[in-house]
Amino acid sequence: MREIAELMGRLAVNEGETTTGIPGVALHKRTENICRTPLLYQQGVIIVGQGAKKVHLADTVYTYDPDHYLVLSVPLPAECEAVVHPDEPLLSLKVDIDLHMLTSVIDQMDEAAPGCPARPCCRHQGLTLAFADAPFKETVRRLLCALLSPREARVLGRGLVRELLFRIMCGENAASLYALAHKNTGLSRIDKALKQIHCNFSQPCSVEQLAGAVNMSTSAFHRAFKDVTSLSPIQYLKKVRLNKARSLLVEDGLRASDAARQVGYESVSQFNREFKRYFGASPRNLPEINGR
């Protein structure tokens, strides 16, 4: 639907992220190629209006474009890349997942169709790709139209976000969000553990502590964690720390030694080695990292 790209272009005037009048909804514009680079995806839904991006997670590559949207039931360290044509910037819409709203949508769906096997049978991964059908695209179009007017965004915004969640739950890969919304599923427990990691990433942390916090055995927790994130808990924590450190270096202008300590590294030399291994450049070589 070309109108979606046009609306995104009107809303995302500047390079980078553009916040909107609806909390948890933002647009993003990119005019340069993205060479394959690590980043930390946040929990949410990413809808592309123009262009395409690839996400590399473990051995799997996910391509999302105007006909396929990305659902991240948990925050995930991954790698992304994109080829951007000079006259067609990459345009996308990011919608955070409001867990209370999601649970309400699911409860109403279950009340309307009790016993309906609405939960697709698939592994509850933290990242899934779904086909953007006509009803989904129409909801996205109306959401973008509302964002053009501060009054409409204020009055209609949350209702349209709720409708968007409903469309996703009617889609082919809704299983991960069902698992996220219901207590005591493997994914919901891992989500709780991930929140603990993100709140305390600079503190010492063990797999045993994380498993105990979500009432799982260490072996079961390790399996479930890797099923959701494609990483071990220690690998996940390391990548979160390195991504946080890069933000401190780029956005706050911290020195490498200060950034290392703030994210939990006791050894600056170890931090420098792992940073270069992960990002392909040393902490001092920020222009190279940013330009990749």
- How would you class 54 by CB atoms within 10 Å of its CB: exposed for 0-12, middle for 13-18, buried for 19 or more? middle
At residue 115, the pLDDT reads 55
HEC profile of 143-176? HHHHHCCHHHHHHHHHHHHHHHHHHHHCCCCCHH
Question: Does the pLDDT value for residue 151 go beyond 90?
Answer: yes
3-class SS of residue 183:
coil
Q: Which one, of 224, 212, 230, 217, lies nearest residue 188 by Cα?
A: 224
The band of 292, judged by pLDDT with boundaries at 50, 70 and 90, is very low
At residue 91, the pLDDT reads 98
* Predicted confidence (pLDDT) per residue in 210-224, tens digit: 999 999 999 999 999
Mean pLDDT of the chain: 91
* Predicted confidence (pLDDT) per residue in 84-98, tens digit: 998 999 999 999 999
Angle at 279 between CA 27 and CA 190, to 5 degrees: 65
User: What's the pTM?
Assistant: 0.91
Strand (E) positions, the chain?
A: 16-19, 25-30, 34-41, 44-50, 53-57, 60-64, 68-72, 76-82, 90-95, 127-131
- Average pLDDT in the 52-62 region? 94
Domains of the chain: 2-179 (2.60.120), 184-292 (1.10.10.60)
- Average pLDDT in the 21-29 region? 97
What the block records as the tokens of 97 is 């997942």
3-state helix, strand, coil in the chain (%, to 5): 50, 20, 30
At residue 213, the pLDDT reads 94
At residue 149, the pLDDT reads 96
The band of 117, judged by pLDDT with boundaries at 50, 70 and 90, is very low
At residue 1, the pLDDT reads 67
Q: Which one, of 226, 39, 200, 219, lies nearest residue 126 by Cα?
A: 226
Question: Does the pLDDT value for residue 291 go beyond 50?
Answer: no
Higher pLDDT, 251 or 45: 45
* Predicted confidence (pLDDT) per residue in 158-200, tens digit: 999 999 999 999 988 898 999 999 888 999 999 999 999 999 9
At residue 290, the pLDDT reads 42
